[in-house]
Amino acid sequence: MKELDLINKITKIFNENNDKSIIMGPGDDCAVLDLGDKDNFYVFTVDEIVENTHFILDFLKPEEIAIKLVRMNVSDVLSMGRANPFYALVSGGIDFKKIDDKWILRFLRTLKKEFDCWGIKNIGGNLSRSSNIFFSIKLIGKVEKNYVVYRKGAKEGDFLCVYGFCGSSMAAVDIMKNKKRNGITKIEEKLVYYFTRPKLYKDFIWENCKYFSAMIDNSDGIYRSALILSKENNLKVVIDFKNMEKLVKPEVLKWCEINKKNPFDYSLFGGEDYNPIFSVSEKNLKFLNDKNIKIIGRFKRGKGVEVLNYDGKIKNFEHF
């Protein structure tokens, strides 16, 4: 069973539609609950970072893992619209044969610093032993009721847009898989920097989300995100592969040139970049005046994702 199929099955098992407080259950970046606040819904999300799936212990510093873990989760909250994270529960499974107290304290101090940047307060957690290390964050946040954006909401004719750049994390994963940290080039170090410190675009989202019909954060790559939006909205998403060009950072271009890779594969299929992917109607598009917005496709009647001007094989991004 493919991962998306499994997730669909899970969604069916846990289909809960008899609780009026649940505004949005499983299947979006956050769950959305109405807990009685006049102006805000509460949002809830959980995300993990797992050894050998999302990181290699010898390659990344504890500080890097901590920052990435926080931003992965904050990204889910921000992708709900005018949202803010407030509280966190942190848990994890650690192996004292692999990491020591010093490592853990470095990790936690950075976690705290990064929490402070986002106004997040840790309210609890749990620590277990696990031979394969993992850390998990659960965030509790709020989103303004009038400015909430879901994965569902795109209409026929809407444009599919991306803010910022994609592909550098997939390149960083390739580097992590094949090299030691002290053997990487300056460009590669830069790509690892982008990978561990994904840029989140809160200001942009807060200012512009009123014009979005749907939004998802780019944790699984453009192609897979488009597939999710296609399913959620019961529409076909047509992407032009030529548009991938504007999504690639110069470092990714250069690295791909050196390593004889196609950089546009990296922007189409690479995940973990956490930039916003959203849909906008033709009517609303004129209100968006930011040169970092890149139109890459369009919603049409039909099903699935079509990639124009692409003759390669559709790849599934695996974190590792």
Exactly one of 131, 259, 309, 316 binds a copy of itself (CB under 8 A); that residue is 131
- The site map against a copy of itself for 17-36 (x = CB under 8 A) is --x--x--xxxx-xx-x-xx
Query: What's the CA gap between 257 and 248, in Å, rounded?
Result: 12
Nearer to a copy of itself, 126 or 259 (CB): 126
Check binding of 130 to a copy of itself (CB under 8 A): yes
Beta sheet of 81-94, edge-to-edge order: 22-24, 31-33, 40-50, 134-148, 81-94, 121-129
Residues that bind a copy of itself (rule: CB under 8 A) add up to a total of 61
Nearer to a copy of itself, 16 or 203 (CB): 16
Check binding of 117 to a copy of itself (CB under 8 A): no
Q: Give the dihedral sign, CA 198/185/249/52.
A: negative
Check binding of 272 to a copy of itself (CB under 8 A): no
Sites for a copy of itself among residues 69-88 (CB under 8 A):
87
Residues 6 or more apart whose Cβ sits within 8 Å of residue 303: 230, 234, 235, 236
Nearer to a copy of itself, 129 or 242 (CB): 129
Residue 122 is encoded by which pair of tokens?
């840790």
Residue 85 is encoded by which pair of tokens?
């994270």
Query: What's the CA gap between 33 and 13, in Å, rounded?
Result: 20
Looking at the DSSP bridge assignments, the partners of residue 293 are 163
Beta strands in 99-158 (DSSP E): 121-129, 134-148
Q: Which residues bind a copy of itself (CB under 8 A)?
A: 1, 3, 6-7, 9-10, 13-14, 16, 19, 22, 25-28, 30-31, 33, 35-37, 42, 44-48, 50-54, 87, 89, 91, 93, 101, 104-105, 108-109, 112, 121-132, 134, 136, 138, 140, 318-320
